[in-house]
Amino acid sequence: EAQVTQNPRYLITVTGKKLTVTCSQNMNHEYMSWYRQDPGLGLRQIYYSMNVEVTDKGDVPEGYKVSRKEKRNFPLILESPSPNQTSLYFCASRGLDSPLHFGNGTRLTVT
Amino acid sequence: KQEVTQIPAALSVPEGENLVLNCSFTDSAIYNLQWFRQDPGKGLTSLLLIQSSQREQTSGRLNASLDKSSGRSTLYIAASQPGDSATYLCAVRTGYNTNAGKSTFGDGTTLTVKP
């Protein structure tokens, strides 16, 4: 089954404790992206990647890192999480002309 | 900068009604437009994708149209059912070679279909 898999689904952590949210897709898509969704602010792009070893900032990249060492994986790293990064996070991928496919989301709470 | 607007923000209809959701965008130089459905706390499920060269796409009770020149798309839902209750978002993707084909999302229309 074609899918984008994110883990974990829920994560509660404390300020400053480094964390990684994993994202993997099995559709051989070149493009992958991370979004955060907050009430009243909609979906905002954090980082995206056009291909292996190619990443670029989206609209709200501050406080986040990503890497694209393999085509299928695109982890999101929070080196020192803060409470304002509490949000619902989504990973997505697509091919050249294909629809954007989303993962099921990761609900992060930073206390 | 592309801006995407969805009006109304919320809509409540009785079961069985046909309805139209609206999506407008400011820059008509789009690559494609995609409609999604999102249930509370869940991920986005792709409903329809319209390429810039197309005028409409259909899937079951759903029909999406695209008018690039006026910067509008509509999602038509026929014979609405309570199971259609969800938030519907549209996303506009700009040119492939500009800004890496960025998708800009509207804030969505939250639909409630009453039994």
Tens digits of per-residue pLDDT, A15-47? 999 999 999 999 999 999 999 999 889 899 999
In this prediction, residue B99 carries a pLDDT of 46
More confident residue, B2 or A73: A73
How much is the CA Rg of chain B, to the nearest whole Å?
A: 14
| Nearest of A103, A44, A43, A100 to residue A75 by alpha carbon | A103
Helix (H) or strand (E) holding B37: strand B30-38
Mean pLDDT over each residue of chain A, to the nearest integer: 95
Residue A105: left if φ>0, alpha if ψ -120 to 50, beta else—which one? left
Amino acid at A27: M
Nearest to B43 among A96, A99, A102 (CB): A102
Inter-chain residue contact B43 with A90, CB threshold 8 Å = yes
Does the CB of B89 have a partner CB in chain A at under 8 Å?
A: yes
Nearest to B34 among A58, A100, A107 (CB): A100
* Cβ A49 vs Cβ A55: under 8 Å: yes
* Cβ A19 vs Cβ A82: under 8 Å: no
Query: How many A×B Cβ pairs under 8 Å?
Result: 45
Residues from chain A contacting residue B32 (CB–CB below 8 Å): 97
* Cβ A34 vs Cβ A24: under 8 Å: no
Inter-chain residue contact B32 with A103, CB threshold 8 Å = no
Helix (H, G, I), strand (E, B) or coil at B41: coil
In this prediction, residue B95 carries a pLDDT of 65
* Structure tokens given for B82: 């309570």
B88 vs B107: CA distance, rounded Å: 9
Spans in chain B with pLDDT lower than 50: 98-99
Residues from chain A contacting residue B105 (CB–CB below 8 Å): 42-43
Residues from chain A contacting residue B100 (CB–CB below 8 Å): 31, 48, 50, 56
Which residue is it, tokens 């009770």?
A: B61
CA of B104 vs chain A CAs: smallest distance (Å): 8
Exposed / middle / buried, residue B103 (Cβ in 10 Å: 0-12, 13-18, 19+): buried
Residues from chain A contacting residue B106 (CB–CB below 8 Å): 42
Inter-chain residue contact A105 with B42, CB threshold 8 Å = yes
Whether A7 has a pLDDT exceeding 80, the answer reads yes
Which residue is it, tokens 């803060």?
A: A82
